Amino acid sequence: MSIATYEEVLDLPNHPEKLLIDVRGADELAETGQIPTSVNIPLDHVKKTFSSETNSEAFVRLHGFAKPSLDHYIIVSCRTGRRSQMAVDILQELCYTNARNYKGSWTEWAAKQGK
């Protein structure tokens, strides 16, 4: 299991080549906020969004950035790390080879950021 650390997530603004996906629902994000640089793709959309069913143009229309390649470095977060691990498992099933779970997710981030 590949794990991303708080320090790695904290350093993401210096690594625009890495993608941070928050798989919580929009209502949760509205309540808590989200980690800087993260993009929201809810867990129930991950499989379809990253499958071959969604071509590059559709992905850009939906999310505003290019669809990651299968070897793109992706970190996934949620609230406590459970749903993000589920998303990593889905990405790995879809042949994404560099997907990592930020196991501490929002709970760790908020605690260390004083939120």
Render pLDDT for 17-64 as a digit per residue (tens, 0 to 9): 999 999 999 999 999 999 999 999 999 999 999 999 999 999 999 999
Q: How far apart are CA 36 and CA 59, in angstroms?
A: 21
Residue 23 token pair: 């798989």
pTM score, whole prediction = 0.95
End-to-end CA distance of the chain: 28
95 as an active site residue: the answer is no
The catalytically annotated residue of 21, 23, 78, 99 is 78
Question: Hey, where are the domains in the chain?
Answer: 3-113
Give the three-class secondary structure for 98: coil
Instruction: Tell me the helix, strand and coil percentages in the chain, rounded to 5.
Output: 45, 15, 40
The CATH homologous superfamily for domain 3-113 is: Rhodanese-like domain (3.40.250.10)
